[in-house]
A and B are shown apart, each in its own frame.
Chain A
């Protein structure tokens, strides 16, 4: 589904190279996790895949179902089925959460040649998905993420994911700033979306999220490369020994 080959990325301002040849394939129906220390390039990878400005791809490729992601605009990538749950969801004063969700869903449907969803069907869809994430009517009415707690913002990300039903979901440190209860809620939301046709890439610092969203494959990223790949047990190993040992091992 998602295929990344030898991806090299520089920061546009300055000469700093962040990604130095990332190879990664996420198959449909699988959950891959990327772990790694601060500054290893995990978040950069998620931004480059979703098309954020400020990065320059100097080599390699990234495709979704064979389509070249790097050639597409950010919104085209979304319509093609890519979704990034942000580490820091953006507050947008003056734009209601419902307006935002409906605009996004209809834009994607339009881009895929589908009809816009009716107001009644949309309301029903949002209510159903929001209930599972314990998002109340008030949160839906407020401007996007404005005045939301850290946990509410992350739940709002998962709500968007549930409504947009992307093929490929990238979660960038979705566990950061969450207490245990909020993390369980978010993890349940993600697990409810797991199915044979959907791939996940879960980026995290800590193993604890992976207790709730159990991955099929775990990658360790360091200094812009995947340095080790294994099963869920690899996450436990990191939790026990830290990244230093792993880095020494591959060096």
Chain B
């Protein structure tokens, strides 16, 4: 193997001397392989094409930058109205006492830290595997780093239809916490699961979620990132989709000075469907990056990317989205839209939509726009007596609606819409 590239920036994590934590045979192997991958590719650099719009520095430096704790304003608990199974992590460490009993029909939930010492486990075939596959053709070093160093996370094996959603709840209690969590989810053929995620996780958060969606299985994911203004986070979802399976992921991002959300999906079975959507709202020093890579490698698969960002007071939004259609992936239906609503001249939206197609019988489209509030619509609403700030909020929500509509469950859609409205209302002044 070639020597690691000499390109470590000052203050950056020293990956040459980094040691993987001790574990059982399988997890140790996976960690060491990940560490080797990481050393081969090096940490992300500013000059890397894939990091052109987002500075990786604060994500790769050795020490996590301090982040103030969020002060609870007494809002209702996220997803609080839903019957769900809560698994709580505090600064990246599972909190069994604060969590619900993980026993549920249709699935088995285990903690990575508990099973990594076992010699044999179903997760052995998956842990780091989908991440490794997702390193081609574009390297994702922070994900390899995660596989190498993460000591906690949840392993969910879904064998049937989960009776209620699994809610991963994150708490940030230390101003300097630097957390890595690695979740692995396997859905057997025909299984069904909804995963909800919310809460500030740590001062700096590196998270990987590997999802193996079996034939005919259905996976729903709704994530809320918010309540932590100084958040720095790099998250990755790696999913493999079997035949006739369905994958749906929606993320709401509010605030956060540095958030990079990558989603890497490989469609390996025919007639599968993958929808990835995001609604982001940022103010001031907000920087949020959605990077999506969907590979079609089977017949008649459908994929959809819908990303909307509302930016104000100099906030920055980034979208890098790719649809790769491999030779033979005929009848692919790929759609991608990324749009930003810039509420002032200081805010910016940087987008790089890409299509790469090697099959000749496909329907793929993509679009990206940046715009301001529609003055005609604003005037129309005001002419009916709606005050300007409320009219503006209505138009912002209407702009975000296409992304929120991607959430299948109506009650979740309503909850997200209410949170978006509350965020806007708090800024009305």
Chain A residues engaging chain B, CB cutoff 8 angstroms: 50-53, 73-75, 77-79, 83-84, 86, 89-95, 99-100, 103-105, 107-108, 111, 143, 160, 164
Contact = CB atoms under 8 A, between A and B. Distances in A.
Interface in B361-403: 374-377, 379-388, 390-391, 394-395, 397-402
B342 to A, nearest CB: 17
Contacts of A160: 384
B410 to A, nearest CB: 14
Interface in B396-428: 397-402
Given A78-B382, A89-B380, A53 B401 contact: no
Given A86-B380, A104-B381, A94 B386 contact: no
6 closest Cβ contacts across the A-B interface?
A: A94-B398, A78-B385, A94-B401, A104-B384, A108-B385, A90-B380
A94 B396 CA distance: 9
A77 B384 CA distance: 9
Nearest to A85: B383
Which residue of A73, A74, A77, A83 has the most chain B CB atoms within 10 A of its CB atom? A74
A74 B379 contact: yes
Contacts of B401: 93-94
A94 B384 contact: no
B395 A73 contact: no
Contacts of A75: 382-383, 385-388, 391
A77 B394 CA distance: 20
A95 B67 CA distance: 37
Contact of A107 (B376, B379, B390, B398): B390
Contacts of A100: 381, 384, 394
B306 to A, nearest CB: 13
Which residue of B377, B383, B394, B401 has the most chain A CB atoms within 10 A of its CB atom? B383
Nearest to A77: B383
B145 to A, nearest CB: 39
A76 B146 CA distance: 56
A104 B387 CA distance: 9
B400 to A, nearest CB: 8
A68 to B, nearest CB: 18
A92 B399 contact: no
A236 B141 CA distance: 79
